[in-house]
Structure 1
Amino acid sequence: MKQFLLSVFLLTACFSASAQFPVGGTLGGGARKSTVTGRIVATILDSVSRKPIDYATVTLLKTSDNKSVNGGVTDDKGRIVLQNIAPDSYKLAIGFMGYNTKTVLVKTTPEKPDNNLGTIYIAPSANSLKDVTVVGQRAMIENKVDRLVYNAEADITNAGGDATDVMRKVPMLSVDASGNVQLRGGAVRVLINGKPSGTMANSVADALKMIPAEQIKSVEVITSPSAKYDAEGSGGIINIITKKNNAQGISGSVNASAGTRQNNGNVSLNAKSGRLGFTSNVGGIYAYPQESKVLSLTQTQTPDGFYTIQSTGLSNWTRKGLNGTAGLDYDINSYHNVSTNVKLSTFSNGGPGSSDVLLNQVLSRNTSNMDMGFNNVDWTADYRKTSKKEGEELVVSGQATYGRNPTNFANTLVVPNAPVVITTGSNRGKNNEYTGQVDYTYPFSKKVILETGLKGIFRTIISDILDDPSRNFDYSQDVASAYGVMTFPIGKKLTAKAGLRAEYTQIGATSGTSATFENDYFNLFPSVVLSQTLKGMSTVKVSYNRRLQRPSLFYLNPFENRSDQFNIMRGNPMLSPELSDNFEIGYSTFIKGSVINASLFYRTTGDIIESIIAPITENGITRNLTTYQNIGRSPSYGLNLFGSYNPKPKWTLMSNLSFNTYEVNNQTTGVNTGTFLNYSVFGRSAYALNKGWSTEVWGVINSPRRTFQGKTDAMYFYGAAVKKEIFNKKASIGVNVLNPFNRDLNIKTVNTTPVSVQSQDIYYPLRSFGINFSYSFGKLKFTQKKTIKNDDLKQGDQGAGQVGGMGGGTNR
């Protein structure tokens, strides 16, 4: 490896500020019977774990008449501030699901209008069984300062599905039938427990299908990542948190689901004794082969006139996979901790297919077989050091990822009065990645915090094309980065978080017998977030950040996938990274237990990567070649609205509306798509009945989607579930349904080039009926460890161009 340049820059900042603020009667405008008002402050913690409880309900009642005069919910640190409190005697009532309600007497006087109650502990309810510690159930959606959290484990309709099904219900995300995920119309980086995974290196869509929904605890959507994060993801970052965390004592769970579409199983076991902790998880997924159908029509203008290919294709693909993790965690003493984790996964997707093809009105027959595999090992090791100074932390992390992704296909084309054409292909993809990282956090005070760190990523990507070694592909990519982030207050209620990240990238690539291609580039990525706290638990946030997306193996691999020999797919090793600038303003508030969040954003992305279709002629037959190019600059405006409302204490209504524009311009090539509006609508209604019963219905609508060459029609998904808690709430059993009134999800796509038109009508089997069972044991008190986060690659958005069980001889 050539000399590797590490860019280190100065990331410290000095500032000083002092201000005096009036206290007492002028704050809040006064009360009706007194010109003096004050505030009541408290921090709510779990009495067992000593951790903050966010979204706990706090109500202030007058002692004299027991009437409510103020209230709110706690923030992510468990803190609550009640403003404009007239001097009097009060009762502070604190409640949260799964905890005993606690009441604290409070008194304020004109001489001392402010009362800081300090830390208040609330205990889990009596439903905490002898061997199970019941933790308070979180809200389905939590809106935090820098992220939105969807708590998947609280959604009973997820049972029996996979991570793709979960993503469809996360606010601000849009997911098509292939599993392609976008955040507000932009590309995203997907992490698992804050870490990259080799399963995501080739195709996110296929990787998400490998994860049973029962393994997912929550999904974090980070729209404005700070400079601490790798710069990858023009739309932002998605972090999937699984249920395999450390636990005190011995705990575990068993989940199983069976349905008409797929079966899932998952077993976890966690133990901690003294300073040593152990975590483990094993899961599997099996999707039955179901018939998918694709109708395709391609018309290409040639010197001899129009060449037409019309086909009706059927395929029966099977998806199956296994994954497992095991980890050790050891506390050397109160300030030193070491941990390690190994994750293994294997997944296959493929099967037979056939299609009847009209080649210029000549009926032909194509039969096929396709198999794609994804096998990965991820190993991490971390050392964490804290000190007596609260908040100070040093973390040293290492990670190694080994991926093997084989692809094999065979096609037989029978044309009347012509020799039989047999086409085969075999590719062995390898993706090795090594990472070293150091992060340091130093709090100058509770409100002034410095975060800084260094990181190096070393990637090697190899594509061995067994049928044609002259087209083998070797690719190396090394990335060095450094960052600094400072959090500090401006005035009394305004908080700023500003940072800068520097990344240097060095690339070397060899394709076949061509000369080695070399490239290197240096980028600076600033980030700024300003957050203002308003009255009534409302917050306004303004942010800016610059992001980058480097193409991964999915986009770079020059291997020609001819599983559908009339629609060939090939990567482009000459792709450049995308660069985007993101601006956002957001507002969130809580009104009597209801949550409202609104955000406006503007994003401009240069060298945006999209798929392109071009006709090619081979042996007198015209085919379509799909590859990838940097097509131009894409400006986008957007709006996101989220609301949650409880008409009754046990009834929750939730909705999310997302809008964004699509446009691509390129003065050099003449590309100008015009401006189109994309939207996504999500709605949910959940009701908790008596005796442990609960029910839920939900629905998602995605608008038509545009690319610079075409359009995909709108799609919708809907489902329902019923669950019953049994065995003294240690277990539950439930039934769920997905798209019960439509067997297939029908997706129509039309792509247009200067010399061709391609239309494709996909019928993908989606309807599903299922039953699920879950059982938990032990003391479920989870903790999360900090570790490596590689989030710098643009990941493949389609499983080798297929739609779930689609492929084989099906024409796209």
Structure 2
Amino acid sequence: MGTFSLTAPKDPIKPSFLIMRKKVWLVFLCCCPLFAIAQSNTINGQVKDSLNTQIPLAHIMILQEDIFVIGAITNSVGSFVIESLKNGSYSLKIAAIGYQDFTKKFTYTGGNLDLGVLQLQTESIALDGVELVGRKNLYEKRANSLIINVEQQISGAGRSVLELLASTAGVSINQQNGTLSLNGRGQLAIMVNGKLSRVDGQALLSLLKSMPTSEIKHFEVFNNPPAKYESNGSGGMINITTKSNNINGKGGNLSLTSGYGKGEKTGLAASFHSQQGEIGWYGSYSFNRDYSPEVWGLQSEFTDLEIPKKVNTRSFRKPITVSQNYSFGLDFEALENTDIGATLSGYSSKWDMIAFDNVSNTNSLDEMELLDIKTNEINHWNHVGGNFRIQQSLDNNHKLALDYNYLYYHDNNPSSYVIESDFVEIKKKTPITFNVFSLDYNWTLSENVDLEFGAKNSTSQFKNTVEVSSDNGLQVIIDDELSSTTQMDEKVNAFYASFQFQFGEKTSLATGLRFEHTRNELIGEENEDIVQRTYGNLFPTLSITQKITDLHLLKLNYGKRINRPSFNNLAPFVLFLGPDALYSGNSNLQPALVHKIGLEWGWAAKYMALEYIIEEDAIVEFQPRLSENGQQYVFKAENMDKRNILSLSVRIPFGITPWWQSETNLNYQHETLQTQFQNSAFKRSKGTYKITSSQQFSISPNTRLELSGYYQSSSLFGISDFGARGSFNLGIQHKLRKNYGTLNLSFNNVFASDNWKIKTNHSNPNINTLETYFPESRIMVLSYVKSFGTNKKKSKHVSNSANAEKNRIK
């Protein structure tokens, strides 16, 4: 049997450039401590907009009797420092593109003078239908969330939202079973324009793959979401905001994409919006085709057999994904205080794979068996959904919102396996429907007190049909043990109340309580109950913020969350990973309860957070166990009795020079895990760290270069270990003259280092497996983006509550 290796290409970079690069990094490391050194006899301040967002590259001018004295430019976090100013009376003037000029008089008497936060008001400057705005930072910290301005990441241009989440937001993606997690802390909930996704797994991955980054404005990451949002998802929540959402005027975007790694990629996307007076409408459409060859492998040992054996499977996969995503919406002001909106959206994502598997089976007698398996698999998801919403403003202090969503999904997932003269076929179909009603009431008691109450009802049904058959050339045999038809009905009722209080100028309190009552029933072919559960839980949230100075604050958080098993994990199904391994569902999965307590410290735009997580019955995907006869490994999601995580996160944005902006995120976490697995006690612990960095260089007023990447050390993965991995990306952006659009060229996973190695090695029970996954690497993508019309922020926004259930389908 042949071997394979992945090696980086010969380095095309000249030695002189390598020397220069080392010098640049030395300068970078030496400059870092300078930001912590306090200076005397200075004037300092920070420039922000009305949304509390830092404004970089703003011009600071000190005038005395209208005569210019000295000036400065704000750095990447909007801060400035002015030295060597004589005592006297002065005027401070701030000018920035896209904002009204700001003027402030002050008297300087020596020493250190902190002008605090200086707020600019937005001003739209239209030039032939083009709106000029200042460039934002990649990361922006808000009171309860982290904003990631994905428009600013050059290397992500032309890629899918799924790929961008992994490179910017710390999202880990398990392509094998379709799960998302945030920095390894549990399941992640996804919202799109404030609407919670009702599917998870492969359905959610299909949705995110069908969304191009050219249509995305920013991600908003909630580590501890308020009580208003559904409690499912211990890893937190990410809201994806599109460009056509919540804007006035007429306009849109057009993007074209072409790329190549080991296979070709093409895509186009278009969006439009029109908001004139009382009526607004908007829509988007995208098409993507991605051919991305990959290599998957599984090495496994069977030591408890009478004749022990080792099996090595290597699968050379050639999947082609064709996806289409569309949405159309309408908003109008029916009465002076009544807003009505409706949205129709959907997608189609077809993953069509042919794979050639090489299997070697060697036993302890040195006997070897070689098999060649040809696999064909299709995973075709279709979705259509409708939303209707109405918001009534009773007066300036009272708002009432009603929201209804209907969602339909259908998955057709056939697969076939040709093993010498035998033919095995699996037919799997899964239709899923959701009906979601929500009612929210907001009451502003005063400038310092805000109350919100709400109720929600969600019902869902799905039917999973699996038929497994084999054909030896003489007859077709249906495997009754692996074939099944199951149906699941689930109903979730929820009530919540949240309160926000402002105590003086420096202290604020946000707290809430949510109650959810869940009833689900999984029924087999003969109407027997496979799973029937009824449970209710209270989910409190608490956040206390203390503003120390204009640039420093402390925040204490507490929240309780839940991870419900996905529909796919509960439903019986089977997917062959080779002749000696399969992936299946687990109808015995229990929901996991999670407690999170955290302390945050923010200074300027920097950020540090310490968090402790306690999780009971943690759900961990893709755990191997031996079948009863010891002949096969069965991979499925399992409950771990207890998992605790202590994490420390640091975010460090700064400007090294006016043309070099840096964003670096550091995360360290220590995980301990205790569980009973196949009658054996496991107690494991491990520390892991992750570094994510983006370095942007302004080569000219219209051209930017970006170097970005991440590295994550090895970590626990239930009873398994997930190996170290990382990625390095390169991107360059050039804005064409006369508003002809923007060109982006990116190179992703340049060193072919973003690979998986999941190893399990235990003697009690005897489990020894190694899973490897080598996705497509060295991907070059060229994209063109053109914006047209005007894009001004609307004063009103009506959100939708339907997206929580989208996170639960695989």
With the length of structure 2 as denominator, give the TM-score of the two structures: 0.83
Aligned partner of 1:48 in structure 2 is none
1:136 to 131, 134, 141: 134
Do residues 369 (structure 1) and 379 (structure 2) align? Answer: no
1:312 to 311, 314, 318: 314
Q: For 2:757 and 2:439, locate their aligned partners in 1 and report how far apart those are by CA, in whole Å.
A: 48
More displaced stretch, 560-569 vs 762-771: 560-569
Q: Are the structure 2 counterparts of residues 73 and 497 from structure 1 closer, same or farther at C-alpha, using a change threshold of 3 Å?
A: farther
Q: For 1:224 and 1:791, locate their aligned partners in 2 and report how far apart those are by CA, in whole Å.
A: 17
Aligned partner of 2:162 in structure 1 is 164
Q: Tell me how far 1:763 sits from its aligned partner.
A: 2.6
Q: Tell me how far 1:133 sits from its aligned partner.
A: 2.2
1:271 to 268, 274, 278: 274
Q: Tell me how far 1:175 sits from its aligned partner.
A: 4.5
Do residues 207 (structure 1) and 207 (structure 2) align? Answer: yes
Q: For 1:767 and 1:117, locate their aligned partners in 2 and report how far apart those are by CA, in whole Å.
A: 44
Q: State the secondary structure of the residue aligned to 1:359.
A: strand
Q: For 1:704 and 1:782, locate their aligned partners in 2 and report how far apart those are by CA, in whole Å.
A: 44
1:695 to 691, 705, 708: 705
Greater relative CO (CA pairs within 8 A, separation 6+): 1
1:706 to 702, 716, 734: 716
Q: For 1:726 and 1:192, locate their aligned partners in 2 and report how far apart those are by CA, in whole Å.
A: 30
Q: For 1:793 and 1:661, locate their aligned partners in 2 and report how far apart those are by CA, in whole Å.
A: 31
Q: Tell me how far 1:536 sits from its aligned partner.
A: 3.8
Q: For 2:733 and 2:76, locate their aligned partners in 1 and report how far apart those are by CA, in whole Å.
A: 29
Q: Tell me how far 1:539 sits from its aligned partner.
A: 1.4
More displaced stretch, 687-696 vs 149-158: 687-696
Do residues 578 (structure 1) and 592 (structure 2) align? Answer: yes
Do residues 673 (structure 1) and 683 (structure 2) align? Answer: yes
Q: For 1:92 and 1:207, locate their aligned partners in 2 and report how far apart those are by CA, in whole Å.
A: 49
Alignment of 1:237-256 (within 5 A): 237-256=237-256
Aligned partner of 1:440 in structure 2 is 441
Q: State the secondary structure of the residue aligned to 2:155.
A: helix
Do residues 659 (structure 1) and 668 (structure 2) align? Answer: yes
Aligned partner of 1:557 in structure 2 is 571
Aligned partner of 2:780 in structure 1 is 769
The one-letter amino acid of 1:401's match is L
The one-letter amino acid of 1:540's match is L
1:397 to 397, 403, 410: 403
8 A contact 1:606–1:633 mirrored in 2: yes
8 A contact 2:198–2:802 mirrored in 1: no
Do residues 380 (structure 1) and 380 (structure 2) align? Answer: no
Deviation string for 1:786-812 (max 9, x for gaps)? Answer: 323356569579x7xxxxxxxxxxxxx
Deviation string for 1:746-770 (max 9, x for gaps)? Answer: 4322123512311233332221112
Q: Tell me how far 1:487 sits from its aligned partner.
A: 0.8
Deviation string for 1:609-646 (max 9, x for gaps)? Answer: 1232122378xx92221122222110110000001111
Deviation string for 1:298-319 (max 9, x for gaps)? Answer: 1112341313222332121111
8 A contact 2:498–2:511 mirrored in 1: yes
More displaced stretch, 650-659 vs 296-305: 296-305
Aligned partner of 1:192 in structure 2 is 192
1:604 to 606, 614, 635: 614
Q: For 1:694 and 1:492, locate their aligned partners in 2 and report how far apart those are by CA, in whole Å.
A: 40
Q: For 1:628 and 1:454, locate their aligned partners in 2 and report how far apart those are by CA, in whole Å.
A: 32
Q: For 2:181 and 2:292, locate their aligned partners in 1 and report how far apart those are by CA, in whole Å.
A: 27
Deviation string for 1:227-266 (max 9, x for gaps)? Answer: 1111111121111112232443320111111000422211
Q: For 1:245 and 1:552, locate their aligned partners in 2 and report how far apart those are by CA, in whole Å.
A: 29
Q: Tell me how far 1:443 sits from its aligned partner.
A: 1.0
8 A contact 1:560–1:569 mirrored in 2: yes
Query: Identity percentage over the alignment?
Result: 18
Do residues 453 (structure 1) and 430 (structure 2) align? Answer: no
Give the alignment's Cα RMSD to 1 decimal: 3.5
The one-letter amino acid of 1:756's match is I
Deviation string for 1:710-744 (max 9, x for gaps)? Answer: 112111111111111114234111211113344x7
Q: State the secondary structure of the residue aligned to 2:53.
A: coil
8 A contact 1:569–1:626 mirrored in 2: yes
Q: For 1:794 and 1:663, locate their aligned partners in 2 and report how far apart those are by CA, in whole Å.
A: 30
The one-letter amino acid of 2:614's match is T
8 A contact 2:456–2:495 mirrored in 1: yes
Q: For 1:794 and 1:380, locate their aligned partners in 2 and report how far apart those are by CA, in whole Å.
A: 14
Aligned partner of 1:530 in structure 2 is 544
Q: For 2:718 and 2:48, locate their aligned partners in 1 and report how far apart those are by CA, in whole Å.
A: 52
Aligned partner of 2:736 in structure 1 is 726
Q: Tell me how far 1:699 sits from its aligned partner.
A: 1.2
Alignment of 1:342-361 (within 5 A): 342-360=344-362, 361=368
Q: State the secondary structure of the residue aligned to 1:153.
A: helix
Aligned partner of 1:625 in structure 2 is 634
Q: For 1:402 and 1:140, locate their aligned partners in 2 and report how far apart those are by CA, in whole Å.
A: 35
Deviation string for 1:345-403 (max 9, x for gaps)? Answer: 000113111122223311122111111111111211111122442x5322111111100
Q: Are the structure 2 counterparts of residues 749 and 513 from structure 1 closer, same or farther at C-alpha, using a change threshold of 3 Å?
A: same
Aligned partner of 2:232 in structure 1 is 232
Q: Tell me how far 1:606 sits from its aligned partner.
A: 0.5
Q: For 2:806 and 2:270, locate their aligned partners in 1 and report how far apart those are by CA, in whole Å.
A: 32
Q: Are the structure 2 counterparts of residues 350 and 711 from structure 1 closer, same or farther at C-alpha, using a change threshold of 3 Å?
A: farther
Q: For 1:42 and 1:685, locate their aligned partners in 2 and report how far apart those are by CA, in whole Å.
A: 22
Q: For 1:782 and 1:672, locate their aligned partners in 2 and report how far apart those are by CA, in whole Å.
A: 54
Q: Tell me how far 1:214 sits from its aligned partner.
A: 1.6
8 A contact 2:52–2:142 mirrored in 1: no
Deviation string for 1:97-123 (max 9, x for gaps)? Answer: x3256142436899xx99999996452
Aligned partner of 2:756 in structure 1 is 747
With the length of structure 1 as denominator, give the TM-score of the two structures: 0.83
Aligned partner of 1:413 in structure 2 is 419
Q: For 1:508 and 1:73, locate their aligned partners in 2 and report how far apart those are by CA, in whole Å.
A: 57
8 A contact 2:55–2:136 mirrored in 1: no
Aligned partner of 2:487 in structure 1 is 474
Q: Are the structure 2 counterparts of residues 117 and 241 from structure 1 closer, same or farther at C-alpha, using a change threshold of 3 Å?
A: closer
Aligned partner of 1:488 in structure 2 is 501
8 A contact 2:438–2:801 mirrored in 1: no
More displaced stretch, 374-383 vs 192-201: 192-201
8 A contact 1:102–1:122 mirrored in 2: no
8 A contact 1:567–1:623 mirrored in 2: yes
8 A contact 1:150–1:219 mirrored in 2: yes
The one-letter amino acid of 1:432's match is T
Q: Tell me how far 1:485 sits from its aligned partner.
A: 0.8
More displaced stretch, 745-754 vs 541-550: 745-754
Q: Are the structure 2 counterparts of residues 378 and 746 from structure 1 closer, same or farther at C-alpha, using a change threshold of 3 Å?
A: same
Aligned partner of 2:555 in structure 1 is 541
Aligned partner of 2:651 in structure 1 is 642
The one-letter amino acid of 1:627's match is K
Q: Are the structure 2 counterparts of residues 672 and 782 from structure 1 closer, same or farther at C-alpha, using a change threshold of 3 Å?
A: same
8 A contact 1:654–1:683 mirrored in 2: yes
Q: Are the structure 2 counterparts of residues 736 and 367 from structure 1 closer, same or farther at C-alpha, using a change threshold of 3 Å?
A: same
Do residues 756 (structure 1) and 767 (structure 2) align? Answer: yes
Aligned partner of 1:21 in structure 2 is none
Q: Are the structure 2 counterparts of residues 224 and 617 from structure 1 closer, same or farther at C-alpha, using a change threshold of 3 Å?
A: closer
Q: Which runs of 5+ in 1 are unaligned?
A: 1-31, 34-38, 46-51, 81-85, 415-419, 800-812
Q: Are the structure 2 counterparts of residues 749 and 43 from structure 1 closer, same or farther at C-alpha, using a change threshold of 3 Å?
A: closer
Q: Tell me how far 1:776 sits from its aligned partner.
A: 0.9
Q: For 1:363 and 1:506, locate their aligned partners in 2 and report how far apart those are by CA, in whole Å.
A: 49
Q: State the secondary structure of the residue aligned to 1:575.
A: coil
Aligned partner of 1:334 in structure 2 is 336
Deviation string for 1:131-177 (max 9, x for gaps)? Answer: 22233332211101100010101212111211122112324444467
Aligned partner of 1:282 in structure 2 is 285
The one-letter amino acid of 1:762's match is Y
The one-letter amino acid of 1:747's match is W
8 A contact 2:92–2:106 mirrored in 1: no
The one-letter amino acid of 2:402's match is V
Aligned partner of 1:26 in structure 2 is none
